[in-house]
Amino acid sequence: MKRYIPNALTLLNLFSGSIAVIFAVNDNFVSAAFFVFLGIFFDFFDGFAARKLNVQSELGLQLDSLADVVTSGLVPGIIMFKLLELVESDWEAVDLSSDFSIPLVPLLGLAITLASAYRLAKFNVDTEQQNFFKGLPTPANALLIVSLPLILEFQNNDTINAIILSKWFLIAVTILSCWLLNSGIRLFALKFKDWGFKANATRYIFIVLCAVLLIVLQFAAIPLIIVLYIVMSVLDSVTSK
């Protein structure tokens, strides 16, 4: 029975992501973000459960990536598409039928979905990425993208809102996101083999700093946390050598 637990958690990730897609398509970004957070929660604990129960399997690995394509790939792609559509009302569009057209430039947002799928496929065939990641993990990238509408909704800062609602900012974030997902940057994984501080100093410091940033800055902390994650990973890689 225990071998089914991790896969059940993975399917809950996929289920959460599917609901998030529905909300994102209907411009309900807050609810979409909530279900992305929930999906990422299940995504973290399915791997944790598989390791603790010693029931890791090739099926679980493939199922996990399929779920992540939806929760951490499709949803942020749709949200970026919607944000780009929101900031510019007169994008050039192509008519798909007599009563339906689609703006071309906002489709760039779906590059995040493509880059996420490519990154997950590479991860599945890369035997090196056991205790570290090459490139930004798709859940971290999804958090970065879904944080943007949350900042707009809850931070109430005119300067930050003006930056986020710039089409050039959103295009730049999309391009950067796609690059980070498939870059060769070595990033530490939040996997604890034991709870000792010495072996996990970087992870503990990162978690504490994340908590402080979230308390002080709320949703605006999420992009800073992604930057912090990359910087600390690079420093950790340099010092370990």
Kindly report, residue by residue over 59-83, the tens digit of the pLDDT.
Answer: 888 999 999 999 999 999 999 999 9
7 in a domain, yes or no? Answer: yes
What is the CB-side half-sphere exposure of residue 204 using CA atoms within 13 A?
8
227 in a domain, yes or no? Answer: no
pLDDT tens-digit series, residues 101-137? 788 889 999 999 999 999 999 988 887 766 678 899 9
Secondary structure letter of residue 131 according to DSSP: S
Say how many domains are in the chain.
Answer: 1
* 25, two tokens: 């398509």
Q: Rounded to whole angstroms, how far apart are CA atoms 125 and 51?
A: 19
- pLDDT of 95 > 70? The answer is no
pLDDT tens-digit series, residues 18-72? 999 999 999 999 999 999 999 999 998 887 777 777 777 788 889 999 999 999 9
pLDDT tens-digit series, residues 173-186? 999 999 999 998 99
What is the pLDDT, as a whole number, of residue 151?
97
For residue 118, give its domain range.
2-128+137-185
- pLDDT of 231 > 80? The answer is yes
User: What CATH code is carried by the domain that includes residue 122?
Assistant: 1.20.120.1760
Q: Rounded to whole angstroms, how far apart are CA atoms 106 and 80?
A: 8
Which distant-in-sequence residues (6+ apart) come within 8 Å of 36 by Cβ? 16, 17, 20, 71, 72, 75, 76, 142, 143, 146
Q: Rounded to whole angstroms, how far apart are CA atoms 94 and 184?
A: 36
112 in a domain, yes or no? Answer: yes
180 in a domain, yes or no? Answer: yes
